[in-house]
Amino acid sequence: MSEALIRIDNLTLAYDRHPAVHHLSGHLQEGSLTAIAGPNGAGKSTLLKALMGEIRPAEGAIHHRLTRHDFGYLPQAAEINRRFPITVLDTVVLGAWRRVGAFGSIGKAERMKAGEALATVGLEGFERRAIGSLSAGQFQRVLFARLLLQDARVILLDEPFTAIDARTTRDLIDLVAQWHGAGRTVIAVLHDLDQVRQHFPQTLLIARELIGWGPTEEVLTPANLLSMRTMAERFDEDADVCRPDGHPGRRAA
Ligand SMILES: Nc1ncnc2c1ncn2[C@@H]1O[C@H](COP(=O)(O)OP(=O)(O)OP(=O)(O)O)[C@@H](O)[C@H]1O
């Protein structure tokens, strides 16, 4: 078997020492297409941010030889400020900045590529519109066009199809399949388990602790889904990170 692209070793992620992800281990192969599923507050977004290096492990480690520029990231819609006065084309062009670097110059070629990416996502003619004037689905298409321009080796998508209509979802899932076909590594946080079963060969099921990670049909079993719900009911927002021996640490006063 080929060497893993990303290896996660006994990873604990915490905010102010309250763990959002506990003792997670596993690996991602290059070219894999993986869904991260789990209840609200399970640590899914936190894990994506840690993969990119935005959150440092409280314990354990994430091993890879990638840089921040190798990651394309689509945040949850709620994290994006759409009031920023910027056009659709310039938003897509931002995808190229990561590639050319902060001191590189964005030329005509990049702007043309941005126009092509917009056409690919079905938004030809939208170039000069302000992003604030778009529908949620149109804006999500713009963000996918930006990812196309970014041309990243690893693509991280946080709830990419939430509040998006069926047609847009289908088009964007097709893009994900194309990335996968082209050998990109794609990881998407998803809540719709039917979508996961249909389109994602690998699943990481998490409820702060790992429940299952592997082929989707082996992970999304009734037993695992029951464990997930039981663990979610017991989420303890005041838990402290474990001691190095793996036993629960002191609880916050
Ligand atoms: N910036 C932060 N500061 C403090 N706690 C945070 C922060 N971000 C997330 N958390 C907490 O970490 C835990 C995991 O949150 P996270 O957003 O990773 O979960 P999630 O699985 O992505 O949830 P959802 O499905 O609701 O988006 C939650 O208890 C959350 O309140």
- Radius of gyration in angstroms for the set of CA atoms belonging to the chain, rounded to a whole number: 19
What per-residue confidence (pLDDT) applies to 218? Answer: 98
Distance CA 155, CA 213 (A): 18
Residue 154, beta-bridge partner list: 71, 185
Ramachandran area for residue 31 (φ above 0: left; ψ -120 to 50: alpha; else beta): left
Atom 6 of ligand 1: nearest residue by CA position: 15
15 lines ligand 1 (CB under 6 A): yes
Q: What number is the average pLDDT over the span 101-110?
A: 69
113 three-state secondary structure: helix
Confidence of residue 3 (pLDDT cuts 50, 70, 90): confident
Closest of 161, 42, 58, 143 to residue 94, by C-alpha:
143
What per-residue confidence (pLDDT) applies to 250? Answer: 44
Distance CA 159, CA 98 (A): 22
Q: What number is the average pLDDT over the span 151-176?
A: 94
Q: What is the pLDDT of residues 35-82, one digit of tens each?
A: 999 999 999 999 999 999 999 999 999 999 999 889 999 998 777 777
What per-residue confidence (pLDDT) applies to 55? Answer: 95
Q: What is the pLDDT of residues 242-251, one digit of tens each?
A: 655 555 544 4
What per-residue confidence (pLDDT) applies to 252? Answer: 38
Q: Judge whether residue 9 has pLDDT over 60.
A: yes
Q: Judge whether residue 27 has pLDDT over 50.
A: yes
Closest of 27, 62, 28 to residue 153, by C-alpha:
28
75 lines ligand 1 (CB under 6 A): no
Listed range (31-35, 148-152, 203-207, 234-238) with the worst mean pLDDT = 234-238
* CA angle in degrees (0–180, nearest 5) for 215-220-225: 150
Contact 114/92 with Cβ under 8 angstroms?
yes
Q: Judge whether residue 124 has pLDDT over 90.
A: yes
Confidence of residue 97 (pLDDT cuts 50, 70, 90): confident
Tokens of 185: 């590594």
Distance CA 34, CA 37 (A): 10
Ramachandran area for residue 3 (φ above 0: left; ψ -120 to 50: alpha; else beta): beta
Distance 46 CA to ligand 1 centre (A): 6
Contact 129/92 with Cβ under 8 angstroms?
no
How far apart, in Å, are the Cα atoms of 100 and each of 40, 90, 94, 203, 249?
A: 36, 15, 10, 33, 45
Q: What is the pLDDT of residues 222-248, one digit of tens each?
A: 999 999 999 988 887 777 776 555 555
Name the residue with higher pLDDT: 231 or 3.
231
Q: What number is the average pLDDT over the span 84-111?
A: 79
Cβ-Cβ contacts under 8 Å for 237 (sequence gap 6 or more)? 18
20 lines ligand 1 (CB under 6 A): yes
Distance 233 CA to ligand 1 centre (A): 15
What per-residue confidence (pLDDT) applies to 22? Answer: 93
Distance 122 CA to ligand 1 centre (A): 33
Q: Judge whether residue 253 has pLDDT over 50.
A: no
Cβ-Cβ contacts under 8 Å for 110 (sequence gap 6 or more)? 93, 96, 100, 149
Distance 114 CA to ligand 1 centre (A): 33
Confidence of residue 99 (pLDDT cuts 50, 70, 90): low
Distance 76 CA to ligand 1 centre (A): 12
From 24, 45, 208, 211, mutation site for ligand 1 pocket: most ligand atoms within 8 A of C-beta: 45
Contact 34/196 with Cβ under 8 angstroms?
no
What per-residue confidence (pLDDT) applies to 17? Answer: 84
Residue 130, beta-bridge partner list: 87
19 lines ligand 1 (CB under 6 A): no
Distance CA 72, CA 95 (A): 9
Residue 122 DSSP one-character state: T
Atom nearest to 39 CA in ligand 1? 25
Atom 29 of ligand 1: nearest residue by CA position: 41
Per DSSP, the chain holds a count of helices (H) and strands (E) of 8, 9
Cβ-Cβ contacts under 8 Å for 18 (sequence gap 6 or more)? 237, 238, 239, 240, 241, 252
